[in-house]
Amino acid sequence: MGSYKADIQATRIAGATTNVVVAPPVRLRGIIVAGLATSGTVILKTTSATGDTLFQADVPAGDIINFSFPEDGILFPKGVYVSTFTVAAVTLLTDKYSGPGLTAG
């Protein structure tokens, strides 16, 4: 019998926010970042918009980044927050919010 594959949830962010983007503990499995006419950056944190940085991407001008994380992805134990957002949009590909193996850390 094969291993368990979790359902994937897609969450789109279209602008900077200090509010939580995904509230429950979640694993980031992949990310799609659409750049602007100038280079940009997106920084994702956990706990709050000033919490621990768990992911940062620099995007060249006019580029699109599509990245899948190996193994179990990146665990955001206290939700996903955005602290820096100078790109057009970001789509987070995460485990389904109620997926197994997610616990607050």
9-95 CATH, one of 2.40.160, 3.90.79, 3.40.190, 2.60.120: 2.60.120
Q: Kindly compute the dihedral angle of the four CA atoms of residues 102, 31, 70, 57, in this order, to the nearest 10 degrees.
A: -110
Domain extents in the chain? 9-95
Task: State the pLDDT at residue 105.
Answer: 43
pLDDT tens by residue, 11-68: 999 877 778 899 889 999 999 999 999 999 999 999 998 999 999 999 999 999 999 9
Task: State the pLDDT at residue 72.
Answer: 87
Task: State the pLDDT at residue 36.
Answer: 93
Read off the pTM: 0.83
* Cα distance between residue 22 and residue 91, in whole Å: 12
